Amino acid sequence: MVDLPAKPGVYLFRTSSQRVLYVGKATVLAQRVRSYFSSNPDRAMIPELVERSDEIECIVTNSPHEALILERHLIRQHRPRFNSMLKDDKSYPYLALTKEEFPRILYTRNPPENSWRWGPFPNAKAAKQVIQLLRRYFGIRDKDCHGKEGCMARHIGLCKGPCVDPDGYPKVVRNVRKVLNGDASDLIEELGKEMDEYSKTQQYEQAAYVRDTIKSVRSVTNQQVISSKVYRECDAIGLGVKGDLAAIVVLHANDGVIKGQETWPLIYGGDEGDSVSRFIVDHYVNRKPPKILITPVPISDTIHNWLNERREGSVDVRVPMRGDFVTLKNLARQNAMMQVERLANKSSGSLEQRAADDCAKVLGMDSLNHIVCFDMAQFLGESRVGASICLRNGKPSKKEYRTYTVKGDAMDDLRMMSEVVERWMKRVDDWPDLLLIDGGETHLSFISKLLEENGVGDKMQLASLAKREETVHRQNKDDIILDRRGRVLVYARDEAHRFVNKFHRKSRSKKRLSDPLEGVSGLGAKKLQALLRHFGGRQGISHATVGDLKTVPGIGPSLAQRIYDSLH
């Protein structure tokens, strides 16, 4: 670690195949990276991360703030398995205003680079309703009509753009930005009066529609329910965790009331502080941070300073221990725990199934709900073993895991794998969608020939996965370098590797601990007891010569020689 710079930057843990496992930022790279190798790591996931990594890449930046932005970009690019990430973050929409002469409002999942943007919004329906409302009340345009006379939006009053009031349009844009930045009190007051008018004239359906519209505005600009005088423009973040799934809840408060919550699913990386910090960066990169931010754990000075810059003012970040803010913090945590339970019950298996479906599309297959993967292990020609694992709908089916001890004389991976695959074929009842083997093109060709010789080549598809660049090889098809859509194959290969290595260690340990006399042909329990009585124990037997062994009743010359050979 002596060659690492004492400067701010980003570090990446990589495997030998250049797969990124973790991305982190640091104010001082040398100190931060060194902390991963301390005897008492501060996070549970660190020992596994260090064990699985082969190298650490560092990128120096000019400031901690630049490191924060670069870290976020690299996490979205590489999607490392040890980082916490928003689940399906790309599926949430944004609202954006283009920065052209006469800006347009857009509902999009990919906002233009040069635009004002708000979101992402977990409630897509509410976001669409707010766009309709902004067009109706302010006349913000939603497409580039080039001032054509036949523009329908102009004639029905939904657009006050360049062909209607070019001089007044900048004010329209300012009002829309004001609403989207959270100051919707004037609009809500006007909608409230409209709802009251409908109620007085007994137009209850219209009144209910306006009521729902107010709810949508509050959902996007955040307003509503439990009161306290200290709640003045503050957000409270709560985190709930269940396995590798988490939920983050954000409660918004202003003008003495707690507002409706937003819920965000999260793929949990094993560290609460890391998860909360990354969510804060993702959440406030496209929206203005509040004056007060309540968090379940402290955040770094780098993120705090970044929040101040985003707000263009001071953000008071607190981890309260007493008072009304503790009530708010606990409420956020309780809601997060409730939401993660709902997510776990609602989407159990959906992440794994989605991974399997994504990979099926990459491979051009109809489905990939049943995968069997093989791997081999040996040590200097000893303890030659193999193993197969099974994935059903992207999840491990451990009752279908199998281990194999190689019985033949083969010492190379190709012939050993051929033996265990052939033994597997003879007992299989349910053919998988894909038979995956750990290896390259040579392995693929060898096993493909074996399947054809046994007449089962058409029962399933065959592929090999090479560790270098995570490349998938298939017969008569182009190679594929996997991205995150092929993560189920990488998981299957890694799981097979873990399982065969576990069996291999167990096999080697058993051989080291086993009694050499147990393998002597012709030496049963009674003759072994006679030997023990005659020589007073195993140590006496080990020091006996062939002549000494022949003096024991029932031990002939050939058996005495075999006993002696097994001990020496």
Domains 234-346 and 354-512 equal at CATH topology level: yes
CB 307 within 8 A of CB 315: yes
pLDDT band, very low/low/confident/very high, at 390 (cuts 50, 70, 90): very high
Note the pLDDT of residue 380: 56
CB within 8 Å of 178: residues ≥ 6 apart = none
CATH 3.30.420.340 fits 354-512, yes or no: yes
Note the pLDDT of residue 516: 66
CB 547 within 8 A of CB 555: no
Which residues is 241 bridged to in the sheet? 246
CB 383 within 8 A of CB 507: yes
Q: At the topology level of CATH, where does 234-346 sit?
A: Nucleotidyltransferase; domain 5 (3.30.420)
Which residues is 318 bridged to in the sheet? 294
Note the pLDDT of residue 2: 47
CA neighbor of 281 nearest in space, from 558, 553, 24, 103: 24
The residue-averaged pLDDT of 22-49 equals 82
Domain ranges for the chain, please list them: 9-83, 90-221, 234-346, 354-512, 516-567
pLDDT averaged over the chain?
79
Give 486 or 349, the one with higher predicted confidence: 486
Q: Which of 394-398, 453-457, 550-554, 563-567 has the lowest mean pLDDT?
A: 563-567
Reading the block at residue 370, the tokens are: 């049943």
Give 145 or 407, the one with higher predicted confidence: 407
Give 556 or 142, the one with higher predicted confidence: 556
Task: Name the percent of the chain lying above pLDDT 90.
Answer: 6
pLDDT digits 0-9 by tens, 132-151: 877 877 778 877 665 555 56
Cα 112 to the center of its chain, rounded Å: 26
Q: Exposed (0-12), middle (13-18) or buried (19+): which is 2, by Cβ within 10 Å?
A: exposed
CB 288 within 8 A of CB 313: no
Which CATH number fits the domain 9-83, given the four candidates 3.40.1190.20, 1.25.10.10, 3.40.50.1100, 3.40.1440.10?
3.40.1440.10
Report the CATH superfamily, name and number, of domain 516-567: 5' to 3' exonuclease, C-terminal subdomain (1.10.150.20)
Note the pLDDT of residue 370: 92
Res 538 pLDDT > 80: no
> 């943007």: which residue's tokens?
117
pLDDT digits 0-9 by tens, 219-234: 555 533 344 455 567 8
Cα gap 422→400, rounded to integer Å: 17
CA neighbor of 435 nearest in space, from 412, 462, 454, 408: 462
